[in-house]
Amino acid sequence: MIAALGLLVGILLGLWFRPDVPLGLEPYLPIAVVASMDAVFGGLRAYLDGIFDDKVFVVSFFSNVVIAAAIVYLGDKLGVGGQLSTGVIVVLGIRIFSNVAAIRRHLFHA
Amino acid sequence: MPEPTTPDQRPAEPVKPAAGPVRPESRPSAEPQGKPEVAPEPAPAPAPAPGPAAPTTGRERLIGALRKPSRAQAIVAVLLAVVGFAAVTQVRANEVDDSYAGLREQDLIDVLNGLAGTTQRAQSEIAHLETTRRDLQSSTDARQAALAQAQDRADTLAIMAGLVPVTGPGIRITVTEDTAPVSVDTMLDTIQELRAAGAEAMQINGKVRIVAQSSVEEAVGGISVDGTLLRSPYVIDVIGEPHTLTGGMTFLEGPRAQFEEDGQTVKIDELQSLDIESTVQPKQPQYAQPDTSQ
């Protein structure tokens, strides 16, 4: 419940403050969001599996975000930023899908 | 979470037990408040188990989580807030930001290529539409030309057939009977001479329009033209080139001389503008039909 409220609060804060994305971060924010979504779904799956650990969750959350952003940053430096961010998004998307599939099995037994 | 379980207690107090045990766990400071609640009822203490106990299935675990806050949930909440914040920010930036400041070089090139392609498509579409417009215009022009031509033709035919009132320069011939009535022959000669001189429209006494089918007959007290009795003085309005028409009347041994010989007075006025108001009703030909074979 608190978690859902936290998500709601975050969305409301975003709507309320309407922050501007710093120019330097503009290419990385979408990647970071997708990476964190991956971490969140992974955490939800772990919770439903009964192996959720908040420490693991926090660490995986930040490492996911940082690594995804770092990969894209590296790609930008190497001149393949666009392709690498596509690759990262694809990988994270696959993970999100498999996590959501597991969650679905837990919740709907289907 | 990993607390032991006594499922038997659950049905009795599903909600309270869940809330009770959690408070001490998540908010140590709240303990003083939470304890009093717990104290009166011994049941709640073991009850915390229901949440963790259920964990046999993921669904029950999730329901338990919704009912029972915990420290882990608070952390998750913070991180989810961050995610929600970032997602909303990104969505908003994506919607609002139409500048290309944050794009990579490759992205900019792609954008440029896309724009070039779009421009090309738009230009070819423009060319295509212009061609269509030209076609339509030329067909419209052709139609209008045909229409104007047909209108001209219809006007000419209407004037020739005497269907419409006409106006224009011409002459007015006034024939007054002095000693003898006007003869049909002289009148016919006059009409023929006027036609030869290029008369385009004629009427007599403002009543009868002279057309191709007009007939002139002798009648008691005057002349009958197309069945209408006309009496002296005869006023013949003629539209055409005034000098030519006058010449057609006045040449030697011409109609004027004939009228005067017969005993009538002829007066010819050249007018710059003359109105011929009388018309004839078009009659559907009964026997003659257009020959389409030619």
Do residues B23 and B30 touch, judged by C-beta distance below 8 A? yes
Q: What is the pLDDT, as a whole number, of residue B154?
A: 92
**Residue of chain B with shortest Cα separation from A23:** B102
Residues 6+ apart with CB under 8 A from B242: B169, B170, B171, B270, B271, B272
Going by DSSP bridges, is the β-strand pair B216-219/B208-210 parallel, antiparallel, or unpaired?
A: unpaired
CB-CB under 8 Å, B55 with A11: no
CB-CB under 8 Å, A40 with B81: no
Q: N- to C-terminal Cα distance for chain B? A: 108
Selecting from A10, A33, A82 the residue whose C-beta is nearest the C-beta of B80 gives A10
Measured between CA atoms, how close is B136 to chain A, in angstroms?
A: 48
Chain A neighbors of B97, CB-CB under 8 A: 21, 26
Measured between CA atoms, how close is A74 to chain B, in angstroms?
A: 13
Count CB atoms within 10 A of the CB of residue A59. 12
pLDDT digits (tens, 9 = 90+) for B196-253: 999 999 999 988 999 888 888 888 888 898 888 988 889 999 999 999 999 988 888 8
Average pLDDT of the residues in B165-187? 90
**Residue of chain A with shortest Cα separation from B92:** A18
Helices (H), chain B: 15-26, 31-38, 50-53, 58-67, 71-96, 105-160, 184-196, 242-250, 255-262
Residue B275 has pLDDT above 60, yes or no: yes
Selecting from B79, B93, B106 the residue whose C-beta is nearest the C-beta of A58 gives B79
**Residue of chain A with shortest Cα separation from B105:** A79
Residue A76's φ and ψ, nearest 5 degrees, are -60, -45
Strand arrangement, sheet containing B228-230: B216-219, B222-225, B228-230
Lowest-pLDDT choice from A1-10, A77-86, B89-98, B122-131: B89-98
**Residue of chain B with shortest Cα separation from A54:** B72
Strand arrangement, sheet containing B166-177: B208-210, B201-204, B234-239, B166-177, B264-276
Q: Where are the domains of chain B?
A: 7-69, 160-276
Lowest-pLDDT choice from A89-98, B12-21, B135-144, B238-247: B12-21
* Chain B interface test: which of A25, A33, A89 (most B C-beta within 10 Å): A33
CB-CB under 8 Å, A106 with B59: yes
Residue B2 has pLDDT above 50, yes or no: no
CB-CB under 8 Å, B77 with A2: yes
Q: Which fold does the domain B160-276 belong to in CATH?
A: Alpha-Beta Plaits (3.30.70)
CB-CB under 8 Å, A103 with B93: no
Q: What is the pLDDT, as a whole number, of residue B136?
A: 95
CB-CB under 8 Å, B79 with A6: yes
Count CA atoms closer than 13 A to B283's CA, side-chain side: 9
Task: Evaluate if pTM is beyond 0.95.
Answer: no
Structure-token pair, residue B280: 């004839």
The secondary structure of chain A in percent helix, strand, coil, rounded to multiples of 5, reads 85, 0, 15
Residue B91 has pLDDT above 90, yes or no: no
Measure the CA–CA gap between B165 and A71, rounded to whole angstroms.
94
> Which of A108, A109, A101 lies closest to A45, judged by CA?
A101
Single-letter code of the amino acid located at A92: L
Judge if ipTM > 0.90.
no
Residues 6+ apart with CB under 8 A from B30: B23, B24
Do residues A82 and A74 touch, judged by C-beta distance below 8 A? no
CB-CB under 8 Å, B71 with A7: no
